[in-house]
Structure 1
Amino acid sequence: MNATPPLFPLPPVPRTELAPGAVHVPGWLTIEEQRALVTACRGWARGPVPIRHTRVPGGGVMSVQTVCLGWHWQPYRYSRTAGDVNGERVADFPDWLAELGRRALADAYRDPAAAAGYRPDTALINFYDHAARLGMHQDKDEKSDAPVLSLSIGDRCVFRLGNSESRNRPWTEVELASGDLLVFGGPSRFAYHGVPRIHPGTGDPATGLARGRLNLTLRVTGLSG
């Protein structure tokens, strides 16, 4: 009769604290999870509110393409319907994605108890082609200071995490690869951040994404209704 093998605790997930409250966890998503998210994102990109280049108040158009879940974001507010696209109500934020967010937060902060109360209700899904960029900005349209979770799939990028006072230095740059998790909360929740560069052709075709980069950011809006 075979003896039951002894159980050992799993080693902690490798992680790097970029700044207080900002944690990078490389390779957090499995290839299977990445493929499932790519498939889901393709469905959300078709609608009811399709993916689009967001127009900013000054008349410019963002180079990234965005589709939203739960709440529709346009600079600088959230709504349930997409008045700047087709007037339709955005797709619901699924429970399974909220659960993924709680697991991500628990792994990043190594605090399952704190993560248990995390209730993300919106996601901004950005697609970057080889030429897309995202300038330094703050995620401050939410009425909540709960952490923002970022999941990367596809091509590598340079992510720039700055300070909370201005778009200028000091900042830290880190390369985000497919499957990486980035969380910024606490003192870094309102830090300026951006994506100055994409590295085309560096993604893994096994994810189902042949080109470009998908970035899912999960957030708590603090809104009701």
Structure 2
Amino acid sequence: MLDLFGRPRREVGPGVVHVPGWLDEARQGALVEAARGWAAEGPGARQAELPNGGRMSVSAVCLGWHWIPYRYSATRDDQDGSPVTPFPGWLADLGSDAVADAYGDAAAGAAYRPDVALVNFYRGDARLGMHADREERAPDPVVSLSLGAACVFRIGNTENRGRPYTDVQLESGDLVVLGRENRLVHHGVPRLLPELPAPPIGTVDGERINVTMRVSGLQARGDRSPGAVNTA
């Protein structure tokens, strides 16, 4: 069921933690500004083309490694071939703090050093189908930060894209960590909730920005060998 009776911090399932309001408005605004800057670099954000020829309704820009359904590359192969924007150290520190807080485990946070981020821009009727993040070669958690418009975030199971699942209302500043036994849980965004108020943090009316961090498990960026970049 959708959260209708308050938004407590909770473990939605083993290893899946939702922390409402984890980012204050100042940090939300700074992250929105950074996201705008990343989207303006080089060829900018794009709606990735799927193997079936369709396009995602969400626009995205990548940091650290460039995600193309369903592999990573050191270069923006589906755009102009330029090197992907580097993953900033301050963002990795934010991811480390998120894991430490979500799990109440300082050691787990210190060990978490993400090197990939997908910055997703949801506008209009954009949505994200049920999927599991399987392109990474490391078992570390996925850290997700929500900015701007609220949405329904659907958390399913590790076996398939269908039921059982739980719908959680995410609002600006919320943190979700997917890890441990549910690192490969299916999840998605079936709809935005633009009618709910959003803070004045630099998003436009009805827009949601999502910053998702991951640990690729790939080799250092200096290695451009096919084995380093192709995770298909």
Helix, strand or coil for the counterpart of 1:99? helix
Helix, strand or coil for the counterpart of 2:57? strand
Match of 1:71 among 37, 53, 65: 65
Helix, strand or coil for the counterpart of 1:34? helix
Contact 1:49 1:90 survives alignment (8 Å): no
Q: Deviations over 1:84-128 (max 9, x none)?
A: 011111111000000000111111000011110111001000010
In structure 1, distance between residues paired with 2:136 and 2:99: 18
In structure 2, distance between residues paired with 1:209 and 1:201: 14
In structure 1, distance between residues paired with 2:43 and 2:219: 20
Q: What is the aligned partner in structure 2 of residue 202 from structure 1?
A: 196
Q: What is the aligned partner in structure 1 of residue 214 from structure 2?
A: 219
Report 1:76-115 matches (<5 A): 76-115=70-109
Q: What is the aligned partner in structure 2 of residue 173 from structure 1?
A: 167
Change (3 A) 1:172 1:67: same
In structure 2, distance between residues paired with 1:76 and 1:207: 32
Contact 2:29 2:202 survives alignment (8 Å): yes
**Aligned-residue offset at 1:47:** 1.7
Report 1:1-225 matches (<5 A): 15-211=9-205, 212-225=207-220
Helix, strand or coil for the counterpart of 2:47? strand
TM-score normalised by the chain length of structure 1: 0.92
Helix, strand or coil for the counterpart of 2:48? strand
**Aligned-residue offset at 1:200:** 1.6
Runs of 4+ in 1 over 3 A off after TM superposition: none
Residue type of the partner of 1:170? P
In structure 2, distance between residues paired with 1:203 and 1:182: 20
Q: What is the aligned partner in structure 2 of residue 3 from structure 1?
A: none
In structure 1, distance between residues paired with 2:215 and 2:42: 22
In structure 2, distance between residues paired with 1:101 and 1:203: 26
TM-score normalised by the chain length of structure 2: 0.89
**Aligned-residue offset at 1:205:** 4.3
Contact 1:154 1:202 survives alignment (8 Å): no
Aligned-pair identity (%): 56
In structure 2, distance between residues paired with 1:15 and 1:139: 23
In structure 2, distance between residues paired with 1:115 and 1:159: 24
In structure 1, distance between residues paired with 2:173 and 2:144: 10
Contact 2:25 2:199 survives alignment (8 Å): no
RMSD: 1.0
Q: Which structure carries more strand by proportion?
A: 1
Contact 1:130 1:200 survives alignment (8 Å): no
Residue type of the partner of 2:213? L
In structure 2, distance between residues paired with 1:32 and 1:70: 25
Contact 1:45 1:67 survives alignment (8 Å): yes
Helix, strand or coil for the counterpart of 2:92? helix
Q: Which has the larger radius of gyration?
A: 1
Contact 1:153 1:203 survives alignment (8 Å): no
